[in-house]
């Protein structure tokens, strides 16, 4: 039976990060962080900028050529000159199109490489975070940052980035040409552009907030779906289908409402901009016509100016539309960077684990595989790895408000088997988590071979420990690969020897491809007992001096358990072993049995001694009390 989850700050589907709205902290800061990733491709970006300038210049220049085309060739009837001018305009349009094609292709390359680096950095960051972070965040919500949030960033870089720059260049170039043609008439356009700016500010501000809500709600939906898929068997056993559907319906409705609001504001941008653009065009035609009739404006300039009027509103409309994509991407990027800015797992340890060989009574560091290890302190001193683990007045709580362990002191000498028994939530699994330094204690010390575990580098500490958890997790890959996870450089012979040691070899050889059988879906095709056997074999192949068995045989029938114990006796020989078990028969041969209640050790001794005391252990063993 598992540890009491109430003792740990595990998040539920409600109230976790990603569920609910969090106002963007720093729009400019997030954009700058994204630009740092994009800036890794400076040469490509320089080429993109050149293509953007040429594309925009070609488009603007071809429109200006309407003025001489009308005034100097159409009105006088110079068809030869008209043909040359048309060819020139066609060349400019072709140049503009080729440059646009070139920068679009380059941005695809930049986009995919950028998001690949971002995704890699995000995954690397997750490997540095403490377990407490994963206790308080939905795995589905974290997965959403790798998929939906990364996709919005990819869309921004792939399409919107170049589009915003191109339209910005086109806008300013067009505006300058309009001023050159007729600055008075440009005042009319300035008025409508100001109106467009107000629309962008009003709609964009609300879009930003709603896109953030949309991304957060999507993360909550993904997190809940992931939980329900993993817990489908439990849902069916307890007839929880209707409640699961109802809960999903609420989350789905919240996502629908957030997405509807975000898309409603996003969708209203283009119609508003389009209507203002058409009104601007109509008013400009009227005013320009009056100026032309008054002799202030020639026909060619009028024609070119009207083209620019249509052009100048298009970049504004396009940018305003891209702003919505930008805001969605920033909302996603903020969620990504929120993970990447989380404080990593603290590791101030300087003592490392090294291979050693002996020459007389002297330990010497070596690169050869000798089967012997030692702790190497910062001053170069070597202390042989023996497996002596001690707790000295340890207090610990997963949160500051709730202390789980109170003044715990215990010792496990090399080669001893120490068993923990007690009710659910008593603190048994917590003690083993502290040995691994999955969490840091608030008070007291934990020593390993006389060295404070805080002074040992975590990688070295965990390399010296083998652990079999109650909740077995198998990875997609062959059976051999899953066993080899305990020691990545283990040979095939070592893998098979570990399997034989724990009596897993027989069932493995009966699998379709034996050790090469591919496991998928967390080993769904295997029984719970078979999955547990593979987890024990994984610990066996690592050959650790300290072994932690957290309900290692809880999912195995009594007959299989007997077979495993025969192999486990060999595995545990000469090792320090910590055992957590609800079956008291499995801990009878332990040198020391520790009885825990409410985070305190209330009894300690071997099986016979504790029975003679007629205390809590006696009550549990004789059935007068039950482990709950």
Residue-wise pLDDT for 47-71, tens only, equals: 999 998 998 888 888 888 878 888 7
405 within 8 A of 396, measured Cβ to Cβ: yes
* pLDDT for the residue 625: 60
Give the C-alpha separation, 266 to 208, whole Å: 10
Share of the chain above pLDDT 70, in %: 88
375 within 8 A of 451, measured Cβ to Cβ: yes
Average pLDDT, the chain: 81
Q: Which residues of 41-76 are buried (b: 16+ CB within 10 A; e: fewer)?
A: beebbeebeebbbbbbbbbbbbbbbbbebbbebbee
pLDDT tens for each residue of 74-85: 777 778 777 888
Percent of the chain as helix, strand, coil, to the nearest 5: 60, 15, 25
Torsion of CA 608, 613, 616, 621, to 10 degrees: 30
Average confidence (pLDDT) over 2-30: 47
Share of the chain above pLDDT 90, in %: 11
pLDDT tens for each residue of 452-498: 999 999 888 888 888 887 777 888 889 999 898 888 888 899 899 88
* pLDDT for the residue 3: 41
Name the more confident of 72 and 496. 496
* pLDDT for the residue 359: 77
Which tokens hold the place of 327?
């805001």
Residue the block writes with tokens 């007729």: 182
pLDDT tens for each residue of 35-51: 889 888 989 989 999 99
pLDDT reading at 5 higher than 60 = no
- In which band, very low, low, confident or very high, does the pLDDT at 180 lie, cut at 50, 70 and 90? confident
pLDDT tens for each residue of 581-616: 766 767 788 888 999 988 899 999 988 888 888 888
Give the C-alpha separation, 437 to 181, whole Å: 73
* pLDDT for the residue 18: 38
pLDDT tens for each residue of 327-377: 778 888 888 998 998 888 888 889 998 888 887 778 888 887 777 888 999
305 within 8 A of 182, measured Cβ to Cβ: yes
Which tokens hold the place of 497?
């020897």
Residue the block writes with tokens 């010296």: 464
Angstrom CA distances, 597 to 280, 398, 404, 589, stand at 79, 17, 10, 22
pLDDT tens for each residue of 421-455: 888 788 888 888 898 888 889 899 999 999 999 99
Q: Is 113 exposed, middle or buried (0-12, 13-18, 19+ CB in 10 A)?
A: middle
Single out the residue of 407, 349, 414 nearest to residue 385, CA to CA: 414
Single out the residue of 248, 251, 269 nearest to residue 259, CA to CA: 251
Average confidence (pLDDT) over 172-200: 83
Q: Which residues of 119-150 are buried (b: 16+ CB within 10 A; e: fewer)?
A: beebeebbeebbebbeebbbebbbebbbebbb
pLDDT tens for each residue of 274-322: 777 788 778 888 887 777 777 777 778 777 888 888 777 778 777 777 7
Q: Within a 10 A sphere around the Cβ of 205, how many other Cβ atoms?
A: 12
* pLDDT for the residue 25: 57
Q: At what angle do helices 79-128 and 42-64 cross, to 10 degrees?
A: 150
* pLDDT for the residue 46: 92
pLDDT tens for each residue of 302-311: 778 888 887 7
pLDDT tens for each residue of 511-526: 889 999 988 877 777 8
- What are the φ and ψ backbone dihedral angles of 161, each rounded to 5 degrees? -60, -55
pLDDT reading at 561 higher than 70 = no
* pLDDT for the residue 8: 46
């Amino acid at each position: 039976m598992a540890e009491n989850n109430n003792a740990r700050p595990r998040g539920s589907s409600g109230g976790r990060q990603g569920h609910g709205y969090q106002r963007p902290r720093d729009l400019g800061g997030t954009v700058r962080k994204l630009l740092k990733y994009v800036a890794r491709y400076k040469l490509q970006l320089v080429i993109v900028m050149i293509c953007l300038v040429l594309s925009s210049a070609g488009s603007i220049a071809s429109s200006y050529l309407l003025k001489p085309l009308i005034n100097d060739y159409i009105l006088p009837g110079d068809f030869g000159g008209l043909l040359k001018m048309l060819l020139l305009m066609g060349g400019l349009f072709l140049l503009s199109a080729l440059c646009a094609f070139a920068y679009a292709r380059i941005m695809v390359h930049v986009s995919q490489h950028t998001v690949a680096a971002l995704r890699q950095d995000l995954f690397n960051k997750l490997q540095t975070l403490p377990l407490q972070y994963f206790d308080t965040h939905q795995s589905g919500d974290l997965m959403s940052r790798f998929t939906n949030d990364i996709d919005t960033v990819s869309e921004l870089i792939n399409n919107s980035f170049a589009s915003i720059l191109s339209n910005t260049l086109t806008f300013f170039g067009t505006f300058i040409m309009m001023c050159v043609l007729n600055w008075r008439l440009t005042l009319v356009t300035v008025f409508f552009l100001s109106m467009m700016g107000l629309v962008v500010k009003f709609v964009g501000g609300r879009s930003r907030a709603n896109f953030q809500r949309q991304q957060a709600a999507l993360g909550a939906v993904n997190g809940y779906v992931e939980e329900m898929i993993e817990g489908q068997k439990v849902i069916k056993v307890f007839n929880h289908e209707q409640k699961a559907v109802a809960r999903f319906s609420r989350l789905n409705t919240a996502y629908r409402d957030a997405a509807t609001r975000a898309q409603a504001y996003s969708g209203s941008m283009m119609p508003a901009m389009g209507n203002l653009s058409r009104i601007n065009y109509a008013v400009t035609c009227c005013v320009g016509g009056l100026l032309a009739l008054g002799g202030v404006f020639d026909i060619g300039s009028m024609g070119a100016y009207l083209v620019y009027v249509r052009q100048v509103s298009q970049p504004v409309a396009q940018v305003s539309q891209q702003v919505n994509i930008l805001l969605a991407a920033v909302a996603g990027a903020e969620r990504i960077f929120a993970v990447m800015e989380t404080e990593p797992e603290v590791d101030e340890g300087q003592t490392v684990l090294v291979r050693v060989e002996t020459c007389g009574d002297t330990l010497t560091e070596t690169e050869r595989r000798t089967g012997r290890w030692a702790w190497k302190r910062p001053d170069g001193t070597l202390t042989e790895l023996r497996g002596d683990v001690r707790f000295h007045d340890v207090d610990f709580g997963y949160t500051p408000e709730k202390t789980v362990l109170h003044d715990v002191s215990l010792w496990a000498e090399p080669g001893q088997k120490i068993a923990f028994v007690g009710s659910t939530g008593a603190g048994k699994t917590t003690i083993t988590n502290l040995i691994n330094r999955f969490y840091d204690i608030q008070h007291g010390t934990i020593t390993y071979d006389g060295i404070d575990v805080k002074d040992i580098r975590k990688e070295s500490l965990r390399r010296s420990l083998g652990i079999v958890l109650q909740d077995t997790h198998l990875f997609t890959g062959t059976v051999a690969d899953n066993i080899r996870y305990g020691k990545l450089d283990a040979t095939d012979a070592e893998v098979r020897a570990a399997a034989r040691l724990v009596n897993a070899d027989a069932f493995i050889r009966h699998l379709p491809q034996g050790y090469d059988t591919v496991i998928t879906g967390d080993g769904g095709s295997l029984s719970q007992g078979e999955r547990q056997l593979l987890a024990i074999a994984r610990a066996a192949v690592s050959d650790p001096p300290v072994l932690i068995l957290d309900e290692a045989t809880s999912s195995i029938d009594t007959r299989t358990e007997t077979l495993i114990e025969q192999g486990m006796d060999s595995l545990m020989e000469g090792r320090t072993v910590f055992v957590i078990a609800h079956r008291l028969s499995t801990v009878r041969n332990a040198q020391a049995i520790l009885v825990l209640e409410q985070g305190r050790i209330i009894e300690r001794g071997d099986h016979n001694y504790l029975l003679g005391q007629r205390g809590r252990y006696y009550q549990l063993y004789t059935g007068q009390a039950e482990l709950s």
